[in-house]
Amino acid sequence: MSRTDAPPLPEPLRVPVADSHTHLDMQDATVEESLARAAAVNVTAVVQVGCDVEGSRWAAATAAAHPSVHASVALHPNEAPRIVHGDPEGSARQGVREPGGRAALDEALAEIDALAALDHVRGVGETGLDHFRTGPEGVAAQEESFRAHIEIAKRHGKALVIHDRDAHADVLRILADAGAPERTVFHCYSGDADMARICAAAGYFMSFAGNVTFKNAQPLRDALAVAPTELVLVETDAPFLTPAPYRGRPNAPYLIPVTLRAMAEVRGTDEDTLAAAVYENTARAFDF
């Protein structure tokens, strides 16, 4: 079987659960096909996350058309520097881009602000910091964008969805300095157990993705083990981070049961109990 083939449907969960972070617009299947496969294994709700203005518009429109889809809108941390400084190499899927400066960033943020006001938009994100893909020249644009998204989330009473890659201390510093929204979600949680305790003390949700199943991910499993049950979410980040044993093949919301079962094993609980808690937590985080 090819590494590019879609993995098989896992055994359905007995208790419904939600995928707290997915990118249906980056997957091969239609929205209807994705939702049907997810529902077949009892994944009954998904949060569709935008990463740029166009993707955020798509997320909002898709949520408006499908009751089981909830939208989150934002400029990805790596998008802000591309808007300001351009992307002459065409490193992103949008291709080559000319520099737009501060005015272009302000215009894009205004669009996100308008989308965040919509009732069917439940989150603002993924926003945050990424020190892995963006070098020092992009730090200022990332931080400015992050702070603007924090204010947008607070203004509209929406969840803040954090992308944190190689930037733990700076993300936590800015959240503390700016004042985090009432509901803040660390998407694809990537910290260790010590950071999980910091997030727990602040009341931040921690969403675990398929990489919690990877052999080299013991620090993630240690974090999951100490995270309070009421703050734990599960996600695919599909089409990325496909859980073992399907790593390297396309991810999709219907694979949530694979990750959730691995999480239940780490936490020493049964899958039904964890699924029920995760669904309740996701509904509380995104107010659906």
Least confident interval from 123-137, 200-214, 260-274: 123-137
Q: What is the pLDDT of residue 132?
A: 87
Q: What is the pLDDT of residue 93?
A: 65
CA 242 – CA 258 distance, rounded (Å): 9
Query: Does 20 have pLDDT greater than 60?
Result: yes
What's the sign of the alpha-carbon dihedral 40, 248, 241, 77? negative
Question: How sure is the predictor about 135, in pLDDT bands with cuts at 50, 70 and 90?
Answer: confident
Query: Does 196 have pLDDT greater than 90?
Result: yes
Tokens read off for 210 = 């398929």
- Residue 94's contacts (CB-CB under 8 Å, 6 or more residues apart) are 52, 82, 87
Give the model confidence (pLDDT) of 203-220 as tens digits: 999 999 999 999 999 999
Percentage of the chain beyond pLDDT 70 is 97
Q: What is the SS3 assignment for 154?
A: helix
Tokens read off for 265 = 């094993």
Torsion of CA 182, 115, 18, 261, to 10 degrees: -80
Q: What is the pLDDT of residue 49?
A: 98
Q: What is the mean pLDDT of residues 274-284?
A: 98
Give the model confidence (pLDDT) of 65-106 as tens digits: 999 999 999 999 999 999 999 876 766 666 777 878 889 999
Query: Does 1 have pLDDT greater than 90?
Result: no
Q: What is the mean pLDDT of residues 43-69?
A: 98
Q: How far is CA 36 from the centre of its chain?
A: 21
Tokens read off for 168 = 């733990």
Q: What is the pLDDT of residue 216?
A: 96
CA 161 – CA 75 distance, rounded (Å): 11
Give the model confidence (pLDDT) of 22-44 as tens digits: 999 999 999 999 999 999 999 99
